[in-house]
Amino acid sequence: MGKRLLVLLFAAALFAAGCSDDDDSAASSGEGPADLQLSSSDLGETLVDADGNTLYLFVPDGQGDSTCYDQCEANWPIVGELSSIGGGLDAGLLGTTGRTNGDTQATYNDWPLYYFANDAASGDTNGQGINDVWYVIDADGNAIGAG
């Protein structure tokens, strides 16, 4: 009788664990917001993450490997690997690149993606045009306002 009770309790615990409402399960199953989305701003439709944080490209990267390290990376943190994409975006443009430290960085249209450390709230675009090399990105993976 004691073994049967333990088996039933163990089975019930496994069932309950499988039914938990875990944030990770929503992200992996596509139930939550997409990792990469479009958002309207004064600059037009721009790429943002699931929390609405603006994403940027760095012109010296030249649609290749990241060239932003050390102090640059402190000001422009990388965007890690993204697994889902929102409407209006081309999943074929989403990718990754390896960094010299072994980290994986998300890319869109082969541009490594970054955040700007001085964007304090979702939707901020404070990094736009800095030193004529940092730009927000449109749905086609091009810099907005470069040139």
Q: In the prediction, which pLDDT does 7 show?
A: 37
Task: Note every long-range contact of 11-14, with CB atoms under 8 Å and residues 24 or more positions apart, other chains counting.
Answer: none
Q: In the prediction, which pLDDT does 129 show?
A: 98
Tens of pLDDT along the chain (147 residues) come to 444 433 333 433 333 333 333 333 323 334 578 899 999 999 999 999 999 999 999 999 999 999 999 999 999 999 999 999 999 999 999 999 999 999 999 999 999 999 999 999 999 999 999 999 999 999 999 999 997
